[in-house]
Amino acid sequence: MTTQSETAGDRADALDQENRATGVTPAAGAMLRAALAGRGITAHTDGMNLSYAIPLDAATPAGEVYAHAHLAVADRAPSIEHDPATHTGWVVALLDETGDMVGGPLRGEHIVTKKITIFQADGEVVETTVSDDATAREFEELPLQVERIVRVDVSDD
């Protein structure tokens, strides 16, 4: 018998495979599930909620996750399978076996790290990272402002 969590997981996996085949960046939810799986953590979904459920007891059967204490993980936007560029940060809440929240939600910030490589006229290369696109754009304008800087490359870290 296929559970709803397996069906939703299969859909996310199929989406991830399709994205990879077409060269499209995997959805944020698929990236989260892959990162968790790499650490031995399974995230479930019932196919109706816009969040993932992570059982506190790893032995909890997939079909019973929502009937036991678990972590609910959701994006701040009402979606889990969206382009990572539109990701607004994950929200995590502890839910008891009745589905009631224990305490308040924890909100994480999504930090985009950009690698900055500065090429100077004397051949020196300086590398640094920044955590937002606005700062990265400021670095891109350096060759226009500082004569000894020949080129600035900005890439995802």
Q: What is the pLDDT of residues 24-64, one digit of tens each?
A: 667 777 888 888 888 888 888 877 777 889 999 888 998 89
The structure's pTM equals 0.52
Looking at residue 137, the DSSP 8-state letter turns out to be H
- With residue 38 as reference, give the H or E element that holds it: none
Rounded Cα distance, 64 and 96, in Å: 13
Three-class SS of 74-119: EECCCCCCCCHHHCCCEEEEEECCCCCEEEEEEECCCCCCEEEEEE
Q: Counting every residue, how long is the chain?
A: 157
pLDDT of residue 144: 80
Domain ranges within the chain, ordered by starting residue? 4-107, 114-156
The pLDDT score that the predictor gives to residue 5 is: 43
Q: Do 142 and 126 contact (CB within 8 A), yes or no? A: no
The pLDDT of residue 6: 45
pLDDT in tens, the chain (157 residues): 334 444 445 555 665 566 566 666 677 778 888 888 888 888 888 777 778 899 998 889 988 998 999 998 887 666 667 676 676 677 888 988 998 888 877 766 555 577 888 888 888 888 877 766 777 778 888 888 778 888 888 887 6
Name the β-bridge partners of 155: 115
